[in-house]
Protein backbone atom coordinates (compact mmCIF):
# COMPACT_ATOMS: atom_id res chain seq x y z
CA UNK A 1 0.00 0.00 0.00
CA UNK A 2 1.31 3.45 -0.85
CA UNK A 3 0.32 6.63 0.93
CA UNK A 4 0.82 10.31 0.25
CA UNK A 5 3.98 11.47 1.99
CA UNK A 6 3.41 13.83 4.92
CA UNK A 7 5.98 16.55 5.71
CA UNK A 8 5.51 19.56 7.96
CA UNK A 9 1.77 19.63 7.49
CA UNK A 10 1.99 19.43 3.71
CA UNK A 11 1.24 16.56 1.36
CA UNK A 12 3.43 15.13 -1.38
CA UNK A 13 1.27 13.33 -3.91
CA UNK A 14 1.43 11.92 -7.41
CA UNK A 15 -1.34 12.96 -9.78
CA UNK A 16 -2.06 11.49 -13.22
CA UNK A 17 -4.20 12.82 -16.06
CA UNK A 18 -5.12 10.55 -18.97
CA UNK A 19 -5.62 11.48 -22.63
CA UNK A 20 -7.66 8.54 -23.87
CA UNK A 21 -9.24 7.43 -27.14
CA UNK A 22 -12.80 6.48 -26.22
CA UNK A 23 -15.30 4.32 -28.12
CA UNK A 24 -19.02 3.69 -27.63
CA UNK A 25 -18.31 0.40 -25.91
CA UNK A 26 -18.37 0.36 -22.12
CA UNK A 27 -16.41 -2.87 -21.78
CA UNK A 28 -13.63 -1.67 -24.09
CA UNK A 29 -13.36 1.62 -22.21
CA UNK A 30 -13.38 -0.18 -18.87
CA UNK A 31 -10.45 -2.34 -19.92
CA UNK A 32 -8.53 0.79 -20.85
CA UNK A 33 -9.45 2.38 -17.51
CA UNK A 34 -8.11 -0.70 -15.75
CA UNK A 35 -4.89 -0.63 -17.77
CA UNK A 36 -4.17 3.00 -16.87
CA UNK A 37 -5.19 2.56 -13.23
CA UNK A 38 -2.80 -0.37 -12.86
CA UNK A 39 0.02 1.52 -14.60
CA UNK A 40 -0.61 4.54 -12.37
CA UNK A 41 -0.69 2.44 -9.22
CA UNK A 42 2.63 0.83 -10.21
CA UNK A 43 4.09 4.35 -10.38
CA UNK A 44 2.74 5.24 -6.94
CA UNK A 45 0.05 7.59 -8.26
CA UNK A 46 -2.48 8.78 -5.65
CA UNK A 47 -5.10 10.34 -7.98
CA UNK A 48 -5.86 9.58 -11.63
CA UNK A 49 -8.35 11.57 -13.76
CA UNK A 50 -10.05 10.31 -16.94
CA UNK A 51 -11.91 12.33 -19.64
CA UNK A 52 -15.52 13.44 -19.85
CA UNK A 53 -18.02 10.66 -20.68
CA UNK A 54 -15.11 8.27 -21.03
CA UNK A 55 -16.83 5.28 -19.44
CA UNK A 56 -19.51 4.75 -22.10
CA UNK A 57 -18.23 7.02 -24.87
CA UNK A 58 -19.62 10.03 -26.73
CA UNK A 59 -22.44 8.61 -28.88
CA UNK A 60 -24.54 11.74 -29.09
CA UNK A 61 -22.17 14.36 -30.45
CA UNK A 62 -22.77 17.97 -29.52
CA UNK A 63 -24.13 19.59 -32.65
CA UNK A 64 -27.76 18.43 -32.81
CA UNK A 65 -30.37 16.09 -31.41
CA UNK A 66 -30.69 12.61 -32.93
CA UNK A 67 -33.36 10.31 -31.54
CA UNK A 68 -31.41 7.12 -32.15
CA UNK A 69 -28.38 8.43 -30.30
CA UNK A 70 -30.61 9.57 -27.45
CA UNK A 71 -31.82 5.97 -27.11
CA UNK A 72 -28.19 4.78 -27.09
CA UNK A 73 -27.45 7.15 -24.21
CA UNK A 74 -30.28 5.67 -22.18
CA UNK A 75 -29.13 2.15 -22.94
CA UNK A 76 -25.60 2.94 -21.78
CA UNK A 77 -26.52 4.88 -18.64
CA UNK A 78 -25.87 3.48 -15.17
CA UNK A 79 -26.84 4.57 -11.70
CA UNK A 80 -24.14 5.86 -9.37
CA UNK A 81 -22.75 4.17 -7.34
CA UNK A 82 -24.78 0.98 -7.81
CA UNK A 83 -24.07 0.45 -11.55
CA UNK A 84 -21.97 -2.59 -12.48
CA UNK A 85 -19.17 -0.60 -14.14
CA UNK A 86 -18.96 1.78 -11.18
CA UNK A 87 -18.79 -1.15 -8.77
CA UNK A 88 -16.06 -2.77 -10.84
CA UNK A 89 -13.97 0.40 -10.71
CA UNK A 90 -14.60 0.81 -6.98
CA UNK A 91 -13.22 -2.68 -6.37
CA UNK A 92 -10.11 -1.88 -8.44
CA UNK A 93 -9.56 1.46 -6.65
CA UNK A 94 -9.65 -0.36 -3.32
CA UNK A 95 -7.28 -3.05 -4.56
CA UNK A 96 -4.81 -0.55 -6.04
CA UNK A 97 -5.14 2.00 -3.22
CA UNK A 98 -5.81 4.90 -5.59
CA UNK A 99 -8.31 7.72 -6.14
CA UNK A 100 -10.06 7.78 -9.53
CA UNK A 101 -12.17 10.48 -11.21
CA UNK A 102 -14.09 10.14 -14.47
CA UNK A 103 -17.29 11.40 -16.11
CA UNK A 104 -20.09 9.12 -17.28
CA UNK A 105 -23.71 8.84 -18.36
CA UNK A 106 -25.71 8.52 -15.15
CA UNK A 107 -29.30 7.32 -14.97
CA UNK A 108 -31.44 8.99 -12.32
CA UNK A 109 -32.22 6.81 -9.29
CA UNK A 110 -35.98 7.49 -9.52
CA UNK A 111 -36.89 8.63 -13.04
CA UNK A 112 -35.95 6.16 -15.78
CA UNK A 113 -36.09 8.89 -18.45
CA UNK A 114 -33.65 11.31 -16.79
CA UNK A 115 -29.92 11.21 -17.56
CA UNK A 116 -27.00 13.28 -16.26
CA UNK A 117 -23.40 13.86 -17.28
CA UNK A 118 -21.80 12.98 -13.96
CA UNK A 119 -18.27 13.08 -12.54
CA UNK A 120 -17.52 10.35 -10.02
CA UNK A 121 -14.83 10.18 -7.32
CA UNK A 122 -13.86 6.83 -5.83
CA UNK A 123 -10.86 5.75 -3.80
CA UNK A 124 -9.31 3.27 -1.38
CA UNK A 125 -12.30 3.76 0.91
CA UNK A 126 -14.76 3.03 -1.92
CA UNK A 127 -17.36 5.39 -3.36
CA UNK A 128 -16.75 8.98 -2.22
CA UNK A 129 -19.11 11.20 -4.19
CA UNK A 130 -20.33 12.60 -7.49
CA UNK A 131 -21.10 15.86 -9.28
CA UNK A 132 -23.69 16.36 -12.03
CA UNK A 133 -22.59 18.80 -14.73
CA UNK A 134 -24.38 22.17 -14.55
CA UNK A 135 -23.18 24.08 -17.64
CA UNK A 136 -24.02 22.21 -20.82
CA UNK A 137 -22.53 23.10 -24.19
CA UNK A 138 -24.27 23.10 -27.57
CA UNK A 139 -26.80 20.25 -27.92
CA UNK A 140 -25.74 18.56 -24.70
CA UNK A 141 -28.64 20.25 -22.89
CA UNK A 142 -31.05 18.40 -25.22
CA UNK A 143 -29.84 15.02 -23.97
CA UNK A 144 -29.05 15.58 -20.29
CA UNK A 145 -30.61 17.25 -17.29
CA UNK A 146 -28.33 19.76 -15.51
CA UNK A 147 -27.12 19.21 -11.97
CA UNK A 148 -28.44 21.29 -9.09
CA UNK A 149 -25.23 23.26 -8.58
CA UNK A 150 -24.20 21.78 -5.25
CA UNK A 151 -20.50 21.93 -6.32
CA UNK A 152 -19.25 19.36 -3.80
CA UNK A 153 -15.76 19.18 -2.29
CA UNK A 154 -14.52 15.88 -0.85
CA UNK A 155 -11.85 15.06 1.74
CA UNK A 156 -9.13 12.64 0.63
CA UNK A 157 -5.79 11.69 2.10
CA UNK A 158 -3.98 13.98 -0.37
CA UNK A 159 -6.24 16.98 0.21
CA UNK A 160 -9.66 18.35 -0.62
CA UNK A 161 -10.88 17.51 -4.14
CA UNK A 162 -13.58 19.44 -6.01
CA UNK A 163 -15.21 18.24 -9.23
CA UNK A 164 -16.21 20.10 -12.39
CA UNK A 165 -16.80 18.94 -15.96
CA UNK A 166 -15.49 20.49 -19.21
CA UNK A 167 -17.67 23.54 -20.08
CA UNK A 168 -17.94 24.35 -16.37
CA UNK A 169 -14.41 25.75 -16.66
CA UNK A 170 -15.76 28.58 -18.83
CA UNK A 171 -17.68 29.86 -15.79
CA UNK A 172 -15.35 31.24 -13.09
CA UNK A 173 -18.06 30.97 -10.45
CA UNK A 174 -17.78 27.15 -10.42
CA UNK A 175 -14.08 26.95 -9.58
CA UNK A 176 -14.40 29.89 -7.18
CA UNK A 177 -17.14 28.18 -5.19
CA UNK A 178 -15.06 25.00 -5.04
CA UNK A 179 -12.04 26.99 -3.81
CA UNK A 180 -14.11 28.83 -1.21
CA UNK A 181 -15.30 25.43 0.02
CA UNK A 182 -11.65 24.50 0.51
CA UNK A 183 -10.81 22.58 -2.67
CA UNK A 184 -7.07 22.23 -3.19
CA UNK A 185 -7.42 20.16 -6.36
CA UNK A 186 -10.13 20.64 -8.99
CA UNK A 187 -10.49 17.50 -11.11
CA UNK A 188 -12.10 18.28 -14.46
CA UNK A 189 -12.99 15.48 -16.91
CA UNK A 190 -12.98 17.24 -20.26
CA UNK A 191 -14.06 16.91 -23.89
CA UNK A 192 -13.07 20.32 -25.23
CA UNK A 193 -13.17 19.98 -29.01
CA UNK A 194 -10.52 21.65 -31.13
CA UNK A 195 -10.71 22.26 -34.87
CA UNK A 196 -7.23 22.36 -36.37
CA UNK A 197 -5.41 20.15 -33.86
CA UNK A 198 -2.60 22.67 -33.46
CA UNK A 199 -1.67 24.98 -30.60
CA UNK A 200 -2.54 27.94 -32.84
CA UNK A 201 -6.16 26.75 -33.13
CA UNK A 202 -8.49 29.33 -31.47
CA UNK A 203 -10.55 26.62 -29.75
CA UNK A 204 -7.43 25.03 -28.30
CA UNK A 205 -6.13 28.37 -27.08
CA UNK A 206 -9.48 29.23 -25.51
CA UNK A 207 -9.55 25.92 -23.65
CA UNK A 208 -6.01 26.66 -22.44
CA UNK A 209 -6.96 30.10 -21.19
CA UNK A 210 -9.93 28.83 -19.19
CA UNK A 211 -7.91 26.00 -17.60
CA UNK A 212 -4.99 28.25 -16.62
CA UNK A 213 -7.32 30.98 -15.37
CA UNK A 214 -9.26 28.63 -13.09
CA UNK A 215 -6.00 27.44 -11.49
CA UNK A 216 -4.47 30.91 -11.22
CA UNK A 217 -7.42 32.90 -9.96
CA UNK A 218 -8.12 30.39 -7.20
CA UNK A 219 -4.49 29.39 -6.54
CA UNK A 220 -5.31 25.67 -6.63
CA UNK A 221 -4.32 22.68 -8.76
CA UNK A 222 -6.49 22.21 -11.86
CA UNK A 223 -6.34 18.72 -13.36
CA UNK A 224 -8.13 18.15 -16.64
CA UNK A 225 -8.25 14.98 -18.69
CA UNK A 226 -9.51 14.93 -22.27
CA UNK A 227 -10.00 12.70 -25.28
CA UNK A 228 -7.38 11.57 -27.77
CA UNK A 229 -8.05 10.16 -31.22
CA UNK A 230 -10.76 11.14 -33.73
CA UNK A 231 -12.48 13.68 -31.48
CA UNK A 232 -9.54 16.04 -32.13
CA UNK A 233 -8.90 17.02 -28.53
CA UNK A 234 -5.84 16.24 -26.44
CA UNK A 235 -3.52 17.80 -23.89
CA UNK A 236 -4.61 16.26 -20.62
CA UNK A 237 -2.69 18.20 -17.99
CA UNK A 238 -1.93 19.08 -14.41
CA UNK A 239 -1.73 22.84 -13.79
CA UNK A 240 -0.35 24.22 -10.56
CA UNK A 241 -1.60 27.13 -8.42
CA UNK A 242 1.19 29.56 -9.37
CA UNK A 243 0.77 31.76 -12.45
CA UNK A 244 1.45 29.84 -15.68
CA UNK A 245 2.66 26.74 -13.83
CA UNK A 246 2.29 23.53 -15.79
CA UNK A 247 3.31 20.39 -13.96
CA UNK A 248 2.68 17.80 -16.69
CA UNK A 249 0.79 17.41 -19.96
CA UNK A 250 0.17 14.95 -22.78
CA UNK A 251 0.06 15.75 -26.47
CA UNK A 252 -2.82 14.99 -28.83
CA UNK A 253 -2.11 11.26 -28.74
CA UNK A 254 -3.26 8.84 -26.07
CA UNK A 255 -1.13 8.82 -22.96
CA UNK A 256 -0.82 9.70 -19.29
CA UNK A 257 0.76 12.76 -17.70
CA UNK A 258 2.14 12.21 -14.19
CA UNK A 259 3.43 14.79 -11.74
CA UNK A 260 4.61 14.53 -8.14
CA UNK A 261 3.67 17.72 -6.34
CA UNK A 262 3.59 19.12 -2.83
CA UNK A 263 -0.01 20.24 -2.83
CA UNK A 264 -0.29 22.47 0.22
CA UNK A 265 3.25 23.86 -0.14
CA UNK A 266 2.61 24.96 -3.73
CA UNK A 267 -0.68 26.54 -2.72
CA UNK A 268 1.09 28.39 0.10
CA UNK A 269 3.75 29.65 -2.32
CA UNK A 270 1.02 30.93 -4.64
CA UNK A 271 -1.00 32.65 -1.93
CA UNK A 272 1.90 34.09 0.06
CA UNK A 273 4.56 34.88 -2.54
CA UNK A 274 3.21 34.90 -6.10
CA UNK A 275 1.70 38.05 -7.60
CA UNK A 276 3.48 40.26 -5.05
CA UNK A 277 1.86 38.37 -2.21
CA UNK A 278 -1.71 38.95 -3.36
CA UNK A 279 -3.88 36.08 -2.13
CA UNK A 280 -6.71 36.12 -4.65
CA UNK A 281 -9.09 34.38 -2.24
CA UNK A 282 -8.28 36.40 0.88
CA UNK A 283 -8.35 39.72 -0.97
CA UNK A 284 -11.79 39.21 -2.48
CA UNK A 285 -14.57 41.71 -1.66
CA UNK A 286 -17.71 39.51 -1.63
CA UNK A 287 -19.93 42.36 -0.45
CA UNK A 288 -19.44 44.10 -3.79
CA UNK A 289 -20.50 41.12 -5.93
CA UNK A 290 -24.24 40.99 -5.22
CA UNK A 291 -25.10 41.57 -8.89
CA UNK A 292 -23.76 38.09 -9.66
CA UNK A 293 -26.81 36.47 -8.05
CA UNK A 294 -29.43 38.97 -9.26
CA UNK A 295 -31.68 38.57 -12.29
CA UNK A 296 -30.26 40.39 -15.32
CA UNK A 297 -30.90 40.37 -19.09
CA UNK A 298 -28.09 37.80 -19.34
CA UNK A 299 -29.81 35.15 -17.20
CA UNK A 300 -32.15 33.80 -19.87
CA UNK A 301 -34.63 30.98 -19.25
CA UNK A 302 -34.63 31.53 -15.51
CA UNK A 303 -37.74 33.64 -14.96
CA UNK A 304 -36.86 36.35 -17.48
CA UNK A 305 -39.70 38.02 -19.45
CA UNK A 306 -39.50 37.35 -23.18
CA UNK A 307 -38.63 40.96 -24.05
CA UNK A 308 -35.47 40.84 -21.92
CA UNK A 309 -36.58 43.46 -19.42
CA UNK A 310 -36.40 42.91 -15.68
CA UNK A 311 -39.58 43.06 -13.67
Is residue 52 among the annotated active site residues? yes
Catalytic member of 96, 130, 133, 160:
133
Catalytic member of 78, 160, 166, 184:
166
DSSP the chain: ---PEEETTEEEEEEEEEEB---S-HHHHHHHHHHHHHHHHHTT-SEEE--TTTTT---S-SSS--HHHHHHHHHH-B-TTTSHHHHHHHHHHHHHT-EEEEEEEEE-SS-TT-EEEEEEEEETTEEEEEEE--S--TTHHHH---------EEEETTEEEEE--GGGGG-HHHHHHHHHTT-SEEEEE-----SSSSTT-HHHHHHHHHHHHHHHHHTSEEEEE-B-GGG-----EEE-SSTT-EEEE--SSSEEEEEEEEHHHHHHHHHHTHHHH--TTTT--GGG-GGGGS--TTSTTSS--TTS---
Cβ pair 75, 115 in contact under 8 A: no
Catalytic member of 14, 32, 52, 106:
52
Active site residues: 52, 133, 166
Amino acid sequence: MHTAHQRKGTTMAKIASVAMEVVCDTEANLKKFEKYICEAADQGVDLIVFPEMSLQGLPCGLLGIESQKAFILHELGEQVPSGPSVQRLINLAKEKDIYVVWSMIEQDEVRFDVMYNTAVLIGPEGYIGKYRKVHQALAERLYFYPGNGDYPVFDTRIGKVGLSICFDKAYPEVARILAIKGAEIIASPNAWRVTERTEEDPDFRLGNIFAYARAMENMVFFVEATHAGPFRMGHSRIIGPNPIQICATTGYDEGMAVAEVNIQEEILKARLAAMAGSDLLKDRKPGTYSLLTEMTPYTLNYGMPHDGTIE
